[in-house]
Amino acid sequence: MNTPDSTPSLDFIRSIITEDLKANKNHGTIHTRFPPEPNGYLHIGHAKSICLNFGIATEFGGLCNLRFDDTNPIKEEEEFVESIKEDVRWLGFDWEDRLYYASDYFDQLYKYAVQLIKNGKAYVDDLTPDEIREYRGTLTESGRESPYRTRSVEENLSMFERMRAGEFEDGSRVLRAKIDMASPNLNMRDPVLYRVLHAAHHRTGKKWCIYPMYDFTHGQSDSIEGITHSLCTLEFEDHRPLYDWFVNELKIFAPQQIEFARLNLSYTVMSKRKLMELVEGGDVTGWDDPRLPTISGMRRRGYTAESIRNFCERIGVAKRESMVDMALLEYSIREDLNKRARRVMAVLRPIRVVIDNYPEDETEYLDAENSPEDPGMGSRKLPFSRVLYIEKDDFREDPPKKFFRLAPGREVRLKHAYYIKCKGMVKDEKTGELIELHCTYDPKTRGGWSDDGRKVRGTLHWVSAAHSIEAEVRLYDHLFVKPDPSDEKNGSDFKDHLNPNSLETLTSCRVEPSLADAPPGMGFQFLRLGYFCVDSVDSSTDRLVFNRTVTLRDTWAKIEKTQKKSGMPGKRKKAA
């Protein structure tokens, strides 16, 4: 077994597991699980849990299950099941033959419920949902016992069987645990175990019309599968006494529940309910919209599995809730794509440039490296001709101070090509809009260098007008303008903070011809512009569509640099 040493670098969960192994707890085995609900698509917060559960299993020579918590047939769909499996695989993890569903255990869970009734630890309650909430009490006031709490074991068994047989309407009866209505922990005040729900299940069909609640399903499913360490997010900390109460009363194998802080990421929302609201409300194009923090959306935007895994490793595991800066996630994808992405040229807002002294019918092919980070990527040939396109923003008729790009009478370098000098402009006679530039080139500067030692301050990207391909480019930005849109103080709704400029679509872009056969999902660095990928849904050989993954500007690197200068990270904080 590969057991990491107990060192200060271990997070608190790995430290607990290391100590358990030293004590030979559970006979030295480690078994975790990732238990998503199939009621939506996974997001980057789930990726943290996936990396943690599967990662720990791998590090400690253990096993990790994929288990769907499918106890609510109204909200669950097979589409969500398949998307979750695809996301886990894409992230690089394999559950092998350990794919399970909570619905696999419905018969056993029913037997557990009957066992609790027979032991006098559960009863059928006729109170309405509103009455149950009222009887439960508050954080400062004890709850009241239901008038049905004293039913006999025989009557409860009969009523529960009738619930299963479909004799009662939805919401008319529930099975509750009999614990303590005066407990300071509201979760222990006779929680609901089963509710009547006449709905077909995506796996069991109409076999059941009663379904177990999550709190009753969670621990027992862990126990059935032999899970040694049940890793949950922090909101389940108050549920742990209930988790332990069930397994103790049933006298079954007791997994150890450990809670950690969930991921909160700036400029987005991490609630399935809110994500569902955005999807169903038409605020985004679907669960895989590249502006969403869903794994499928991030994949479509151009994020790599490696970058997400590295991000999850960077943020670590803690016991305190905190907000992670989106800049750190963007740093992770820049770092990854900088190593793997081929450099290409694309012009997003083109303006026509005519090289007056270049032969009209001539085309030459210039050498261009594919990546300065990896010489093994080789090089490609770029066509150069008399008519080119450059970015509109790379020219100013009246340039401001420190503008080192093209202007009247000014010379600049074309990347991999020649020096050119602007000699004239053509404007629309009616609107005055600039439509064409006229330049000359210096044939002695092929490759972008001068033998006479003269220097130019600006280097521009470009494409040949005759050889470039038209493409659509989608520029994505943060979905929200507020760092924490879920902070709904002063009566605001999270959707009030949607960014109206989160997507800009450019339809007349030009890209170099080497991108003609770029496969869906492949990422590139558009020189001077950012990292982009071929859209996996809308792009085709007849219509190239690129999504901007991230800009070249690296906010996080600047933050880190500033902190190092000020000495802020000099002392390492102790793990929470």
Query: Active-site residue among 14, 272, 291, 343?
Result: 272
d(CA 476, CA 301): 9
d(CA 214, CA 72): 9
DSSP secondary structure letters along 532-543: EEE-TTT--SSS
d(CA 221, CA 105): 7
Active site residue 262: yes
d(CA 87, CA 445): 49
d(CA 296, CA 179): 42
Give start and end residues of each alpha helix (H) in 493-576: 555-566
Active site residue 37: yes
d(CA 83, CA 66): 13
DSSP secondary structure letters along 364-375: EEEEEES-SS-G
Active site residue 405: no
Where are the strands (E) in 11-70, listed by range?
A: 31-34, 63-68
User: Using only C-alpha atoms, what is the Rg of the chain?
Assistant: 31
Question: 460: Cβ–Cβ under 8 A, 6 or more apart, which residues?
Answer: 390, 391, 394, 405, 406, 412, 413, 414, 415, 528
Cβ-in-10-Å burial (0-12, 13-18, 19+) of 429 comes to: exposed
Total count of residues recorded for the chain = 576
Query: Active-site residue among 25, 85, 121, 262?
Result: 262
Q: Which pair of structure tokens corresponds to residue 249?
A: 């009363």
Question: 203: Cβ–Cβ under 8 A, 6 or more apart, which residues?
Answer: 70, 101, 103
Q: Which pair of structure tokens corresponds to residue 41?
A: 């698509």
d(CA 314, CA 308): 10
Q: Which pair of structure tokens corresponds to residue 392?
A: 């509109």
d(CA 459, CA 440): 16
Q: Hey, CA dihedral for 463, 467, 470, 476, is it positive or negative?
A: negative
DSSP secondary structure letters along 205-227: BTS-SEEE-HHHHHHHHHHHHT-
Nearest of 108, 469, 499, 537 to residue 288 by alpha carbon: 537
Beta pairing partners, 126: none
CA distance to 182, 239, 246, 258, per residue, from 188 (Å): 9, 8, 11, 19
Query: Which residue type does 553 have?
Result: R
d(CA 563, CA 557): 10
Give the residue numbers annotated as catalytic, written as ranges. 37, 262, 272
